[in-house]
Amino acid sequence: GAVVSQHPSWVICKSGTSVKIECRSLDFQATTMFWYRQFPKQSLMLMATSNEGSKATYEQGVEKDKFLINHASLTLSTLTVTSAHPEDSSFYICSAGDRGNSPLHFGNGTRLTVT
């Protein structure tokens, strides 16, 4: 079945540094990818919609300059957390949809800890 690979699965970084998270669709072309953030024991909150070859659409309240999204190809989207701070520590999950009408496929998530 369709697989979405997310890398890294966990990362620890120092405050002020930037972290890049990759989301790859391994066996299908993902025209659209979604980035979610999940706080401990809470639900997933949509951060942005990433469309191949165009600018991402951010949800209200999400800082586009802090959470940079690039969807340069049909199989790769990246989320860069710039100048990370401890409050950015969270679980980030991507999902991808193909050209059909199949349900979204989710990556295994990235646990970001900012010290």
Partner 1 sequence: AQSVTQLGSHVSVSEGALVLLRCNYSSSVPPYLFWYVQYPNQGLQLLLKYTTGATLVKGINGFEAEFKKSETSFHLTKPSAHMSDAAEYFCAVSEGGSNYKLTFGKGTLLTVNP
The site for partner 1 (CB under 8 A) is made up of: 4, 6, 32, 34, 41-44, 46, 49, 91, 93, 95, 97-98, 100-104, 106-109, 111
Separation between Cα atoms, residue 23 and residue 94, nearest integer Å: 6
Q: How many CB atoms lie within 10 A of CB 62?
A: 17
In the complex, minimum distance from the CB of residue 84 to partner 1, in angstroms, rounded to a whole number: 20
3-state secondary structure at position 39? coil
Between 54 and 101, whose beta carbon lies closer to partner 1? 101
Between 82 and 106, whose beta carbon lies closer to partner 1? 106
Separation between Cα atoms, residue 94 and residue 80, nearest integer Å: 13
In the complex, minimum distance from the CB of residue 107 to partner 1, in angstroms, rounded to a whole number: 5
- Nearest Cα neighbor of 69 from 104, 102, 36 is 36
In the complex, minimum distance from the CB of residue 19 to partner 1, in angstroms, rounded to a whole number: 17
Separation between Cα atoms, residue 47 and residue 37, nearest integer Å: 7
Between 73 and 83, whose beta carbon lies closer to partner 1? 73
